[in-house]
Structure 1
Amino acid sequence: MPDIRLIPCLADNYAVLLKEGETVVLIDAPEAAPIQAVLEKEDWRLTHILITHKHDDHIAGIPALAKAYRPEITGPAAEASSIPGLSKTVREGDTVTVGPFTADVYDTPGHTKGHIVFHFPKEKLLFSGDTMFALGCGRLFEDTPAAMWNSLKKLRALPDDTTVYCGHEYTLSNARFALSVDPDNPALKTRAAEIEQLRASGKPTVPFNLGLEKKTSPFLRADEAAVAEGVGKAGAKPEIVFTEVRERKNRA
């Protein structure tokens, strides 16, 4: 497995560094200073940046990092005009090869129309940006609930033993919300208690296991009766259930 560093940035963002040999890959660049601090401490030279979407809290660090290290920068083709310094653009069906790493690219519209994620099948890693959070999903700033539901189904189809790194530490509030719509889920109760303990100790809840996410996140389970019933939509189509779950979270 590569050497991996989870880097807290801004108020609640995460960036991630992967290193193997001379290759050092950054996923998203919320701000430069904490990322550079890790690079300098470890004596690593940044060689590549992968960007999931155009929001400032995922790209603001690019100019300073590009000036300091001159990495190759890859991001979503659909948002290329909004992201500074891209060397390459990609979309669903493309693969990204960076040193010894190869990632599959998936289009995951919902949070933004051009959002992408990176799945590293060999390493069993998924970098989900703001599409999937632990027990949550991104707000729908630019697209429809149907688009986000379809994006989440793509990610749900990945193997259970996938380790997921997302873009924010939102898990505690997500867990409390999940219990409000799925209160009888024993796996969720156990996970929520563990999350409470982690956050009380100041520890991150990221990364997380995709198989457990499939069992506990109401956002991935809009086609299950328990979640439909929990939001008063028994018998409704999954898209309708998902819309209700997302709207309730918006109000939580």
Structure 2
Amino acid sequence: MKIEPIKAFTDNYIWALHHPTQQRLCVVDPGDSQPVFDYLEEHQLKLDSILITHYHNDHIGGVKALKQATGARVYGSVHDNLDFVDEALNEPESIVIFDDQYQFEILHVPGHTLGHIAYYEPHRQWLFCGDTLFKAGCGRMFEGEPKQFYQSLQKLAQLPPQTQVYCTHEYTLSNLAFAESVEPDNQVVKQLIAESQQRRKQQQATLPSTIASELASNPFLRCDQAPVIKAAHSADPAAKHDWQIFATIRRLKDNF
């Protein structure tokens, strides 16, 4: 199945999942309806379903218009209580799209928001994780507690290394700049910076990432590594547990 990013706003990606044999489409987190309508018209597709990871407007702003125009089935978090959701989901439930061809496991990953969910396709190892995990970063902690957010990230870190990570913002270069400040000798980070700069020069997305790449480069998944611990201790010598290291690194990123 082809998976493509539809650009929205300044740095959002609405992920478009194509049915392998039919002119049908599923989209993830359509914060704006017009780019999706344009994409449907350009490719002569019918919108089949909409997956929502959390309630922030840059992820749901286009849902009502798309649903009204196409009749697409809408999936979202049971915790968010959105009135336009047809099926409210929570871990450990699963859903199928495109006539049972693709099955997504629901992962509850609170931290960015309390109700945030991710969609994981275990057979093809695709992860649509919204704003929980970014390439070389993670979302801001708007509602959750540090320990809770850290546990959510650890849940994603346990997925198979080859899992394709489809997050919803083009924050890669700024995230990598911070990652390099935390681990200045990390050669994977340096390589990713060079690759990502080249992709952005060509107006290409830097995504998807992989879990393996994130484990090697993302400071928020590396809170047990000596350079990350050292960076955290420079700001908070009292930070001891992994989740406290995470909390300190997250505060440093907020002010980077």
Q: Is the pair's TM-score, using the shorter chain for normalization, greater than 0.5?
A: yes
Instruction: Assess if the C-alpha contact under 8 Å between 1:63 and 1:84 holds in 2.
Output: no
The equivalent residue for 1:98 is 97
Tell me by how many angstroms 1:125 deviates.
0.6
Q: Over aligned residue pairs, what C-alpha RMSD do you find?
A: 1.3
Partner SS state of residue 219, structure 1: helix
Deviates more, 1:177-186 or 1:191-200: 191-200
Structure 2 letter corresponding to 1:247: R
Structure 2 letter corresponding to 1:250: D
Instruction: Assess if the C-alpha contact under 8 Å between 1:163 and 1:210 holds in 2.
Output: yes
* Residue 142 of structure 1 pairs with residue 146 of structure 2: no
Tell me by how many angstroms 1:202 deviates.
2.1
The equivalent residue for 1:85 is 84
The equivalent residue for 1:63 is 64
- The superposition leaves residues 114-133 of structure 1 with CA deviations (integer Å, 9 ceiling, x where unpaired) of 00000011221100100001
- Paired with 1:3 and 1:217, the residues of 2 have a C-alpha distance of 27
Partner SS state of residue 118, structure 1: strand
- Paired with 1:207 and 1:175, the residues of 2 have a C-alpha distance of 15
Deviates more, 1:233-242 or 1:43-52: 233-242
- The superposition leaves residues 83-130 of structure 1 with CA deviations (integer Å, 9 ceiling, x where unpaired) of 341100110100011121100000000000000000011221100100
Tell me by how many angstroms 1:236 deviates.
2.2
- Paired with 1:203 and 1:230, the residues of 2 have a C-alpha distance of 32
Tell me by how many angstroms 1:229 deviates.
1.3
Instruction: Assess if the C-alpha contact under 8 Å between 1:24 and 1:48 holds in 2.
Output: yes
Structure 2 letter corresponding to 1:245: I
- The superposition leaves residues 20-61 of structure 1 with CA deviations (integer Å, 9 ceiling, x where unpaired) of 234421111110111111111111101111100000000000
Tell me by how many angstroms 1:162 deviates.
0.7
Deviates more, 1:226-235 or 1:112-121: 226-235
The equivalent residue for 2:249 is 245
- Paired with 1:28 and 1:103, the residues of 2 have a C-alpha distance of 15
- Paired with 2:241 and 2:185, the residues of 1 have a C-alpha distance of 21
The equivalent residue for 1:111 is 112
- The superposition leaves residues 195-246 of structure 1 with CA deviations (integer Å, 9 ceiling, x where unpaired) of 1222233221111122111111001111222210123268821111101110
Partner SS state of residue 204, structure 2: coil
Alignment of 1:146-225 (within 5 A): 146-225=147-226
Runs of 4+ displaced beyond 4 Å: none
- Paired with 2:233 and 2:213, the residues of 1 have a C-alpha distance of 24
Task: Please report the TM-score for the alignment, with normalisation by the length of structure 1.
Answer: 0.95
Q: Structure 2: which 5+ runs fail to align?
A: none
Structure 2 letter corresponding to 1:108: V
- The superposition leaves residues 52-80 of structure 1 with CA deviations (integer Å, 9 ceiling, x where unpaired) of 00000000001110111101101000002
Structure 1 letter corresponding to 2:132: T
Tell me by how many angstroms 1:188 deviates.
1.2
Task: Please report the TM-score for the alignment, with normalisation by the length of structure 2.
Answer: 0.94
Partner SS state of residue 232, structure 1: helix
